[in-house]
Amino acid sequence: MFDTYCGLITHGGGCFSGKDPSKVDRSGAYMCRFAAKNLVANGFAKQCLVSVAYAIGKAEPLMVEAINEKGESLAELAKSKFDFRPKSIIETLDLRKPIYLQTAAYGHFGKNGLPWEKIIDIK
């Protein structure tokens, strides 16, 4: 986890390095990255932290939060632009493809070609 977040972000402690995208420890983190990166790229924030919480057996997240650099909530915007349900995350980011080898070293984020790094128009 430290290779990915450099100690800046908290994590629930699940298996982040597993290869099963149905486990939200990994796919939820990717979707948070995707949402935060796109909120910034589309001019809604200069910095953005997106958090999500799940309960076992529930598709809808218990909580989605997005906070900009001023501490203002962008949660409603994030929820309206991004679907944080596990199946939708898998489909949106195409996580069933064998793309995980490049995440084995030097973290999961900031690497070209990974679907959660893609910039889309959300305006």
Q: What is the pTM of this model?
A: 0.86
The predicted structure's pLDDT at residue 3: 46
The predicted structure's pLDDT at residue 12: 55
Domain for residue 88, yes or no?
A: yes
With beta carbons less than 8 A apart as the criterion, state whether 27 and 86 touch. Answer: yes
The predicted structure's pLDDT at residue 100: 82
The predicted structure's pLDDT at residue 8: 52
Domain for residue 42, yes or no?
A: yes
Q: How far is CA 115 from CA 42, 69, 72, in A?
A: 17, 24, 27
Domain for residue 9, yes or no?
A: no
The predicted structure's pLDDT at residue 16: 55
Domain for residue 51, yes or no?
A: yes
Domain for residue 105, yes or no?
A: no
Domain for residue 49, yes or no?
A: yes
17 exposure class (CB count in 10 Å sphere: 0-12, 13-18, 19+):
middle
pLDDT in tens, the chain (123 residues): 444 544 555 555 555 556 678 888 889 989 999 999 999 999 999 999 999 999 999 999 999 999 999 999 999 999 999 999 999 999 999 999 988 888 888 878 889 899 999 999 998
Number of domains composing the chain: 1
With beta carbons less than 8 A apart as the criterion, state whether 60 and 85 touch. Answer: yes
Check which CATH number belongs to the domain holding 72 and give it.
3.30.300.10
Domain interval for residue 73? 21-96
Domain for residue 3, yes or no?
A: no
Domain for residue 14, yes or no?
A: no
Question: Residue 34 is encoded by which pair of tokens?
Answer: 């995707």
Give the whole-angstrom CA distance, residue 52 versus residue 28: 7
Three-state SS letters, 35-92? HHHHHHHCCCCCCEEEEEECCCCCCCCCEEEEEECCCCECHHHHHHHCCCCHHHHHHH
